[in-house]
Chain A
């Protein structure tokens, strides 16, 4: 059936490519290829981890703490053991000698406190949802039933929920060592001087609410063993990192452990983790000798798949009256939750280099204190530290513009790095290799109809229209392509940032690309095929991309931080070039010419100035047959490359959002949204556009809808999709997207990365728009998510900046 599907689509695919415009029809790079991945996904023939069935497989369910903080006095599993279908029941104590601690690979400071983090709690629970016991049974229903028969006695302890209170003298402690995990400082320029006698000072506090990443595929794990070797299937973004970490954690030798990421249904950072469930499933299969499977329910996932953001940001901006920014201070509290997981403490630190945004300034100072609370640990969520930074600077710049009575776009122009100034080393010490903020902004303003919307806004203000129009600007950049290994080392991260690729030319001339990146929706199979097809001069259809299995693709650093194309894609290109160098030697030998005289074009090696040539397919077969090879030539045409970047890449863009805010109900409607992004060279514009769309949707989600809410006891209230609101189709507008293309100079592809861009840009664009709509009321901030209630209250509390702008609270007596 696959053949029929593909054949039926060929003609249309070509037509599509034309419609979207391919810069060079003879090239794959830049072409809007329809994705190879789709065929299995639109027909239900893909393989998710929960689809896996193995002979004799057993199902695991976890009993989870109902308390945010308690001592475990007693766990009685005896009744559960006798339930029908139950094979085993264990508490944390049963694994105490064996389970070790979940790893933290990013000890950001010398004095960081890294508490023990057993996969199943033994003595104490520190967040609602922490596993305390597990059942292994013959089906998922029986496993869930037996949980109810486990008895646990808890001695309640004080929950610790607020970061500021957690740091106060006398606060109850999450861990013996106290609630401060670390303090990390960074400074550039003379900050004192920049702030001394500053003509304009903007000081704000922003709350980055806690988010739940909410990949649509819930996490799932299958573990199996033959008694010697182990295989772990997991819905993970990081099979390679996971394998190393699981070997270190469980003591299973690395060479006897295979980790497979089958198709993975989204991650957004939430599957960049070494989870308790992965460790425990391995230990369970080791103990029981049968394959085991665990699949989380959504409510279990909301509780226990790591959360994102959750920072309190104190921001100060010093500026001249003409708008020139002198300096910036950022002082953060970052909620770690109850433990430090894989890169928990590193997340806010990733933002440290981005608070200055795209702007020139004389001085910058950053301090971050990581705080323990009795909540689920936080960790990477799309953007990871950088959305928080961009939000703060883009919100503060808007406040500065308002303070100065200046147009927010004009203020940005006065401060941003101009096109001529690249490469530019920022006050945070990063060297931005390329960019063109002018071009992206001009394109965005034109698409948006900025002036016309400003005129409408003025009109609505004049008319005292109850529905006010707000315009939000966000000019962002981000550091992508994580990361140069030496930089990661200098930041105390536990691993490198290289990526690996292998390219194999098969005897029939087909090409296998093996990549260490691990896609979960991005479309690497398509994009990597395009890169290899161009480089090798073979048809797109003749390339297959292998990934996500440590046996098949043994080396890699996986997928996160907008790194896959910028590092992994470059590795693929370089491996292709290496294969071609070998092929060139073989061609020269067969054509009786010197390698220097051999030219390559469109898949054929020819002797310069003649028509004599060999196709890459002919060379593949010749290498396989090995009858007549050059002296010392190994009979294979393949190559491997491990690429370690010299610098980050810096995509940027300008996002503009227009909102209509009904000041009587507080309801916000996004009227239009324009995004012009510069992600450097584009391999597949369709994939890039899709990433931007999805990113914007998540950024809007943070701005308007999403928040993980806890009650006073530390219970998560938003455990279901009814309570934790990810945007539906009805909540979002059509996005207008366009691109400018300023190639990165830091890699041979010229690519910059696009996975996180939309999310980073969108949140401040939307909130700036909401606040802009409410300026006449004297509102200068609305806490995220900007729900109708929060907006309504903000209008009421502001009291109205000018006569006649009083909000609904005054007349209706609203209260806090």
Chain B
């Protein structure tokens, strides 16, 4: 079995894995990183989105062996030193989640979206998040949250914490 070295949320793991093991199952079943959920088996829903070497990736569509040598950040590693990421704050503030199942992936995808476009229009947000499905919110508050986070991160918003 191939041996891989992966950094996940700042911790280095060295593991033997079956070649066919999906990254998301490696995270969930092997490392106990259950913060990243699975919502489909065709790469459509985006629930499993993580950061792979700084860019968002659907961890159900990546093999664990492909992540060898990579740096993975999951929703569990997004907050820094006990402070939530502005995107997490914004999702809470704008009531951008209900059941919360899509939320980890949605937040990771939104963080990545702002890397390319730090000040996106509503339309750009809606298109940018097209690969992340939410069945609960109707997306209105998700769009608001991303806009709010964009403002916060650009320094325009007032941070109270």
B5 at the interface (CB under 8 A from A): no
| Contact A726–B136 (Cβ < 8 Å) | no
The CA of A520 and the CA of B25, in the complex, are separated in Å by 24
The CA of A270 and the CA of B137, in the complex, are separated in Å by 17
Chain A residue, CB-CB nearest to B136: A694
Residues of A within 8 A of B100 (CB): 37-38, 41-42, 46, 263, 265, 521
A216 at the interface (CB under 8 A from B): yes
The CA of A690 and the CA of B140, in the complex, are separated in Å by 9
| Contact B98–A266 (Cβ < 8 Å) | yes
Residues of B within 8 A of A53 (CB): 32
For B, the interface residue count at a CB cutoff of 8 angstroms equals 64
Chain B residue, CB-CB nearest to A59: B29
A20-52: CB near B (< 8 Å → 1, else 0) gives: 000000000000001101110111111110110
| Contact B20–A729 (Cβ < 8 Å) | no
- Contact (A720, B138) CB under 8 Å given A4-B82, A43-B84, A48-B37: no
A-B contacts counted at CB < 8 A amount to: 203
Within 8 A of A (CB), among B92-145: 92-93, 95, 97-104, 107, 122, 125-127, 129-143
State which of A42, A217, A730 has its C-beta within 8 Å of the C-beta of B37.
Answer: A217
A687 at the interface (CB under 8 A from B): yes
| Contact A266–B101 (Cβ < 8 Å) | yes
Residues of B within 8 A of A728 (CB): 126, 129-133, 139
Residues of A within 8 A of B104 (CB): 42, 44
| Contact B25–A140 (Cβ < 8 Å) | yes
State which of A12, A35, A696 has its C-beta within 8 Å of the C-beta of B95.
Answer: A35
Chain B residue, CB-CB nearest to A736: B140
Chain B residue, CB-CB nearest to A38: B92
| Contact A722–B44 (Cβ < 8 Å) | yes
State which of B89, B95, B136 has its C-beta within 8 Å of the C-beta of A686.
Answer: B95
B59 at the interface (CB under 8 A from A): no
Chain B residue, CB-CB nearest to A301: B40
A683-721: CB near B (< 8 Å → 1, else 0) gives: 000110111011111100000000000000000000011
A210-223: CB near B (< 8 Å → 1, else 0) gives: 00001111100000
Residues of B within 8 A of A12 (CB): 89, 93, 160
State which of B75, B136, B138 has its C-beta within 8 Å of the C-beta of A43.
Answer: B75
> Closest CB-CB distance, B78 to chain A, in whole Å?
8
State which of A215, A264, A297, A523 has its C-beta within 8 Å of the C-beta of B135.
Answer: A215
State which of A48, A726, A734 has its C-beta within 8 Å of the C-beta of B101.
Answer: A48
A120-164: CB near B (< 8 Å → 1, else 0) gives: 000000000000000000011100000000000000000000000
| Contact B135–A42 (Cβ < 8 Å) | no
The CA of A141 and the CA of B41, in the complex, are separated in Å by 14
Chain B residue, CB-CB nearest to A266: B99
For A, the interface residue count at a CB cutoff of 8 angstroms equals 68
State which of A35, A298, A730, A732 has its C-beta within 8 Å of the C-beta of B138.
Answer: A732
Chain A residue, CB-CB nearest to B105: A216
> Closest CB-CB distance, A387 to chain B, in whole Å?
16
State which of B37, B91, B127, B140 has its C-beta within 8 Å of the C-beta of A693.
Answer: B140
| Contact A35–B25 (Cβ < 8 Å) | no
> Closest CB-CB distance, B71 to chain A, in whole Å?
17
Residue of B36, B134, B135 most packed against chain A (CB within 10 A): B135
Residues of B within 8 A of A689 (CB): 95
| Contact B45–A721 (Cβ < 8 Å) | yes
| Contact B34–A51 (Cβ < 8 Å) | yes
Chain B residue, CB-CB nearest to A297: B41
State which of A139, A268, A690, A726 has its C-beta within 8 Å of the C-beta of B137.
Answer: A690
Known A8-B160, A41-B97; further 10 A-B contacts with Cβ < 8 A:
A12-B93, A38-B97, A43-B84, A46-B100, A266-B98, A298-B41, A721-B40, A721-B133, A729-B132, A732-B138
Closest A-B pairs by Cβ, 4 of them: A44-B35, A8-B161, A521-B99, A265-B101
